[in-house]
Amino acid sequence: MTKKAHKKTFRGSLPEIIRNDQGLYEGNLIGYFRAIFFNAQNLNHTYHNFRHMFHVTWLCYQACNFYARLLSPREMRNLLIAAMFHDFNHAKNATGDERNIAAAILGLATYILPEDRDHLEEIVSLVRATEYPYEVPSEELPLLDQIIRDADMGQGFSDAWIQQIVFGLAAEQGRRPIEILRSEETFCRNIRFCTEWGRLTFSREKIDEKAAEVRELLDMLEGI
């Protein structure tokens, strides 16, 4: 497949990514978008929701652009499908992540398109890479697995991180928002992005800025 030249007006919007306006990967993802939009049961969860699944997809797409000379159009398609489905029918924290991954894989197998059936095993492997806690260190994984892991952590640095992380995870985990906010300090201290794309996108400076913001918010809330 010959890649089209990048359009100057490309914004990286969800419709543009799903249609594959840049011709970056094989085909388009319209069928999968419809499957998730009409069938996923977790679209309104407070964290593992539509926004999270497609934020991860958006980040994986940015990584595909970054690694366009290393990844084939087929590999990019596999990665983006895995990103879209990695939390399909997530049951919050009522069950272990192993069962959530199983639900995602079942959804993927249910809605897999004919042109992707021969690649189902590779896509499933990418979904499994997001199971937390990680059994295999990211450094030991192939590039595609590293990308989806880095993208899965990226929502913590979006503009809506307080709503999504602090209140969203608190509601799903049955915890107080202040507990989640405190844990964000530890998250910022320990987070390590494995890929070059991840380290450039979420630089140490950006991580430190978030850590400082978390500290300031905690100081205000705790009366320091």
Cα distance between residue 65 and residue 6, in whole Å = 10
- On whether residue 34 sits in a domain, the answer given is yes
Q: How many domains does the chain have?
A: 1
Residue 96's pLDDT is 74
3-state SS, residue 7: coil
Q: Is residue 173 part of a domain?
A: yes
Q: What pLDDT does 8 receive? A: 42
User: Does the residue 8 lie in any domain?
Assistant: no
Asked, for residue 7, whether it belongs to a domain, the answer is: no
Its pTM stands at 0.93
Q: How confident is the model at residue 92 (pLDDT cuts 50, 70, 90)?
A: confident
pLDDT digit string, tens, across residues 142-169: 999 999 999 999 999 999 999 999 999 9
- The beta-carbon contacts of 176-184 under 8 Å, at least 24 apart in sequence, are 178/221, 181/214, 181/217, 181/218, 181/221, 182/218, 184/156, 184/210, 184/214
Confirm if 80 and 8 have CB atoms less than 8 A apart: no
CATH code of 182's domain: 1.10.1300.10
Domain-located, residue 3: no
Please report, rounded to a whole number, the percentage of residues in the chain having pLDDT higher than 70: 94
Which domain covers residue 100, as residue numbers? Answer: 14-221
Is 80 exceeded by the pLDDT of residue 65?
A: yes
99 is a domain residue: yes
